[in-house]
Amino acid sequence: MDEVLTLFELNSLVHEVIESNFDEEYWVTGELSDAGTPAFGGHFYGELVQKDEESDRIVARARITCWARTYNMLRLRFQKEAGETLRKGLQVKLLVEINFHEQYGYSLNVLDIDSTFTLGDLAKRRREILQQLEKDGILHDNQSLPLPRLLRRIAVISSPTAAGYGDFCHQLEQNDYGFHFDVQLFPAVMQGEQVPESIISALETILSEQPFDLVVIIRGGGASSDLSDFDTYELAACIAQYPLPVLTGIGHERDETVLDFVAHTKVKTPTAAAAFIIEHQAEEAALLDELYQRITHSAEERILREKQRMEHQKAVLPLLFTNFIQGKQNGLQLLRQRLMTAIPQLIEREHHRHQLLEKRLEMLDPRLLLKRGYSITTCGGKIVRSIEGLAEGEVLTTQIENGEIYSKVVLCKKN
């Protein structure tokens, strides 16, 4: 083909082709990869991309524009319905018409936006995070931690300049019960892409500080669209596995984030978080007061019973002592009577036994034997009962009733 076209001529041909073949409006979905916020009343310029689900690689790209009048109307409606702003990373469904300009090239002109699609995508992402936490077995870990009976040392993660942080501290300080709380702030970014990293860093710092009873994450104020910055798996997993109970108050009445599902306790606002802590303390104080009353009442009843028992013992003790003495006297009298009866009988028995012993001794007296004609022979002072042991020439002494006979052994002969 010999004809040579200028770039403008070629782009004009493309323009004619597009206008003649793509004159309709199309619904298209994609992710906003670039979404500059225009000045008030200005036009919106951005970029829409499509990414591969597995590799996250961009497979399609197109410039998008939205004229000021249409953008201001769509922006207000989208923020009201979806609670979001048109920002980078947001999945959107746009009604567009295709434009091709000889100078600026191919672009999509935005005519409308489907907020339900974005809501569905945000909910889908939230569900996917919660499902992964459930699969990892950590979704309810923080909720299973016991809440301390007394919540006195409070670690707060918030922006130092946030109005919600001031409201939280003011409500704790001005509580109707006069409770004192030790509150320490750990500053963190509470909107934008740095939210997860900043809060995780604050949580790590808390563990290195003095012991705390509770961690409170509060935000307060700000756009609802900023809440999506809290919906990340990394931040949710950190809070789910945190060793201290975590209380969240980062949204508004109708807003909810993934953190609300993993935290120990969730409330809607910073003031609600303060109210929860105060109410918890009040309940514990009421319980302690009830226990004190019960212990006091029980102690008073015990003291009264002991006093009554002592009064009874005081009245009964003299009678018991008299009865005791009387019993002992009766016992002694009975013992005396028994002894008076038993002693003569004992003496009589002993006298009779003594007489028997004397008779036995008399019967065993050798002199009685000698009177009867018996004799006692001794050799060397020992009674001779056998010829064994006697030798010739030994002198024997034989005692009879009226004297002693001395003899010498001439011969020992056995029968």
For residue 222, what pLDDT is reported?
Answer: 58
Q: List pLDDT tens digits, range 366-413.
A: 777 677 777 888 888 888 888 887 888 888 888 887 888 888 888 887
The pLDDT value recorded for residue 9 is 85
Question: Is residue 183 classed as helix, strand or coil in its secondary structure?
Answer: strand
| Token pair listed for 242 | 């945190």
Q: What is the pLDDT of residue 266?
A: 92
Q: Per-residue pLDDT tens for 97-111?
A: 999 888 888 999 999
pLDDT, tens digit (0-9, with 9 covering 90-100), for 158-217: 998 888 899 999 999 999 999 999 999 999 998 878 999 999 999 999 999 879 999 999
Residue 183's nearest CA partner among 145, 218, 149, 216 is: 216
Question: Cβ neighbours of residue 304 under 8 Å, at least 6 residues apart?
Answer: none
What is the helix (H) or strand (E) element at residue 293, kind and residue range? helix 270-363
| CA 323 and chain centroid, separation | 61
Listed range (7-11, 44-48, 206-210, 223-227) with the worst mean pLDDT = 223-227
Mean pLDDT, residues 309-334 taken together = 81
Say yes or no to pLDDT of 157 above 70: yes
Beta strands of 36-192 (E only): which ranges?
44-51, 58-66, 91-101, 105-113, 153-158, 182-187
Asked if residue 1 has pLDDT above 70, the reply is no
Please answer whether residues 147 and 127 qualify as being in contact, where contact means their C-beta atoms are separated by less than 8 angstroms. no
Q: Give me the phi and psi of 244, to 5 degrees please.
A: -115, 150
Residue 358's pLDDT band (boundaries 50, 70, 90)? confident
Q: What is the DSSP string of 333-363?
A: HHHHHHHHHHHHHHHHHHHHHHHHHHHHHHH
pLDDT at residue 319 greater than cutoff 90: no
CA within 13 Å, CB half, 275: 8
CB 267 within 8 Å of CB 247:
yes
Lowest mean pLDDT among 54-63, 118-127, 156-165: 118-127
| Band (154; pLDDT cuts 50, 70, 90) | very high
> pLDDT tier at 254 (50, 70, 90 boundaries)?
low
Query: In this predicted model, which residue has the larger pLDDT, 124 or 170?
Result: 170
Query: In 3-state terms, what secondary structure has residue 378?
Result: strand
Q: Per-domain residue ranges for the chain?
A: 7-113, 131-283, 367-408
CB 154 within 8 A of CB 183: yes
Residue 82: pLDDT over 90: no
pLDDT (average), residues 140-154:
94
Q: Which amino acid is at 113?
A: I
Residue type, 356: L
What's the rounded Cα separation, in Å, for the pair 149 and 161? 31
pLDDT value at position 34? Answer: 76
pLDDT at residue 252, as a whole number: 59
In CATH, the number for domain 7-113 is 2.40.50.140
Distance between CA 378 and CA 382 in Å, rounded? 5
pLDDT of 241 > 90? The answer is: yes
Going by pLDDT thresholds of 50, 70 and 90, the confidence category of residue 147 is very high
pLDDT at 354 over 80: yes
Q: What is the rounded distance in angstroms from the CA atom of residue 71 to the CA atom of residue 42? A: 8
For 89, 197, 247, 298, 409, the CA distances from 193, given in Å and listed in that order, are: 10, 8, 22, 60, 144
Task: Compute the C-alpha angle 276/279/284, nearest 5°.
Answer: 125
CB 67 within 8 A of CB 46: no
Across 63-81, average pLDDT: 88
CB of 357 within 8 A of CB of 369?
no
The residues, any chain, with a CB within 8 Å of residue 132's CB and separated by 6 or more, are 233
pLDDT at 3: 81
CA distance 407 to 398: 8
Q: Provide the residue type at 2 as one letter.
A: D
**Residue 224 — pLDDT band, cuts 50, 70, 90?**
low
What does the pLDDT average to over 261-271?
92
Q: Say whether pLDDT at 226 is over 80.
A: no
Q: Give residue 200's pLDDT.
A: 95
Closest alpha carbon to 71 in 104, 19, 36, 103: 36
- Is 3.40.50.2300 the CATH number for 131-283? yes
Count Cβ atoms below 10 Å from residue 237 Cβ, excluding itself: 20
Confidence check: pLDDT of 41 > 80: no
